[in-house]
A = this chain, B = another copy of it.
Amino acid sequence: MQTDDFDVNAQMLQLRQGNASIGAIAAFVGLVRDLNEGSTVSTMTLEHYAGMTEKSLIDIASQAQNRWPLQGITIIHRVGELNPTEQIVLVLTASAHRHAAFESAMFIMDYLKSQAPFWKKEATPEGARWVDARESDETALARWQ
């Protein structure tokens, strides 16, 4: 968890650390959009549950480690106020082969979206509103179970 932005390349280099048995890194970056459910978004504020959020992310990462042969995982999630086009979340997974890397990154994002305690509040011309959880995120989770 951090308020600062992140550099994807630097995070990848840190994850690899010259480990020559890594053949594949899958990455996901989530970004603030300026339009959500029909309204213009001027800023987004991310709230989290200090303590529990970190534990959830560690738990999600260890579930991914148990399911796929991974050589490393990075999860960075920003909190606080963010503007459209800013980076919100970074997930990196490293493996010998690409399918393990891709699948574990999707798994982590699906779990993070529906299990990690983060809440988004958007400022729109109609006033501020909390982003509602999406049914589709629950559906996405179901396929891993």
**What is A's interface to B at a CB cutoff of 8 Å?**
7-10, 12, 16, 18-35, 84-85, 96, 98-99, 101-102, 105-106, 109, 140
What is the copy number of this chain in the assembly?
2
- Interface pair B96/A20, CB less than 8 Å apart: no
User: How many angstroms between the C-alpha atoms of A106 and B98 in the bound complex?
Assistant: 9
- Interface pair B18/A85, CB less than 8 Å apart: yes
- Interface pair B28/A22, CB less than 8 Å apart: no
Given contacts A18-B85, A24-B29, 5 further A-B contacts (CB under 8 A): A8-B9, A9-B9, A20-B34, A23-B32, A33-B96
Nearest-neighbor residue (CB-CB) of A19 within chain B: B85
Knowing A102-B106, A106-B102 touch, does A25 contact B20 (C-beta < 8 A)? no
